[in-house]
Amino acid sequence: MFSTIKWSSELMISRLYGENKSEFVSGPSAVGTRYKLTFIGENFIKSKDFLSGVFTSLRNEDQRYSKFRYFYLIQKFQFVLNLTFLGTGTSQGVPIIGCHCNVCSSQDSLDKRLRSSVLIRNESLSLVIDAGPDFRYQMLRESVDSLDAIILTHEHRDHIAGLDDVRAFNYIQKRAMDIFAEDRVLKEVREQFLYAFEEDKYPGVPNIKLNLIDENIFSIQGLSILPIRAMHYTLPILGFRIGDITYITDASFISESEKKKFSDTKILIINALRKEEHVTHFNLKQALHLIEEISPEKAILTHVSHQMGRHSEVQRELPDNVQLAYDGLQLEMD
């Protein structure tokens, strides 16, 4: 199990309405900051030393709070984002059916790549970016029992083909799966999964709720997500920045103005297909050039083809702050 909460010692008291409830609310501004509210009744404050201590120090701090009869203890915490690489391969995955090259025949588990997707979790939320043909197996492998949303980078099959398998979550969670994507991608999902959107639905079809996003920041249950426009040859696609993690796959070009959106990101995940150039994807050299420009603390390369070479060999050639992703790799970020 991964840890998701770092509690701060910072305490505040505020008056709120309602009684005896404990709930989470979104922080007002900072990405990744949330507050836990716990109701403190009058008697409870009197009976608990540590709470009266809080009460006293707060009273000293701000007299106006003392006139309220009910208080909430507010604990501020920074949630930890956990990111798991569900898949790190290009559209055909690695190994490729029928290919007996050096990489496809490797026995090293790091050379086995499902279609690219990441799972992002914090203490209250799980979401994935893209759901390709390996989505079902990826959910099983990582024991994902609940999923709040799927964000799509673009409509290529290796990023959406697994959407039919949201049925399992529909069944467990008793609600539609929220899919977030831009207009063109949502239209494509509707067309490719026509049966899920018919007026008179066949029993058991996936229950999908389409949520429109554009290049502006949006949030899922209080988690802020900043879309980044990239070009995938001629197709405009989206990457996403969540806190200090930026995930961009399938890009072949990113404008200077869009780069500004993640110029201070701590972790940059970027696609690198292979060493040779490719018309629709960054190759290794182009990805490394972008990493040098942004200079994040750490960069991770994904959406990798069998033509890149074996993981163990390619990793040796990379700069210290650059890692070649592998399926199952996990990161944690405050």
Q: What are the residues binding Zn ion (CB under 5 A)? A: 99, 101, 104, 156, 158, 250, 306
- Three-point CA angle 122, 216, 330, nearest 5°: 30
CB of 65 to Zn ion, least distance (A): 54
Q: Are 138 and 86 in contact (CB under 8 A)?
A: yes
CB of 97 to Zn ion, least distance (A): 10
Check residue 319 and give left, alpha or beta (phi > 0: left; psi -120 to 50: alpha): beta
CB of 16 to Zn ion, least distance (A): 46
Alpha helices, DSSP H only, in 161-281? 167-173, 183-192, 256-259
Check residue 221 and give left, alpha or beta (phi > 0: left; psi -120 to 50: alpha): left
Query: If DSSP codes are grouped into helix, strand and coil, which group holds residue 249?
Result: coil
Residue 158 vs 165, nearer CB to Zn ion: 158
CB of 128 to Zn ion, least distance (A): 14
Residue 82 vs 116, nearer CB to Zn ion: 116
Residue 84 vs 116, nearer CB to Zn ion: 116
Residue 165 vs 250, nearer CB to Zn ion: 250
What are the angstrom distances between the C-alpha of 40 and each of 7, 36, 51, 271? 19, 13, 9, 50
CB of 140 to Zn ion, least distance (A): 22
Q: How far, in Å, CA of 299 to CA of 320, rounded?
A: 9
Residue 82 vs 246, nearer CB to Zn ion: 246
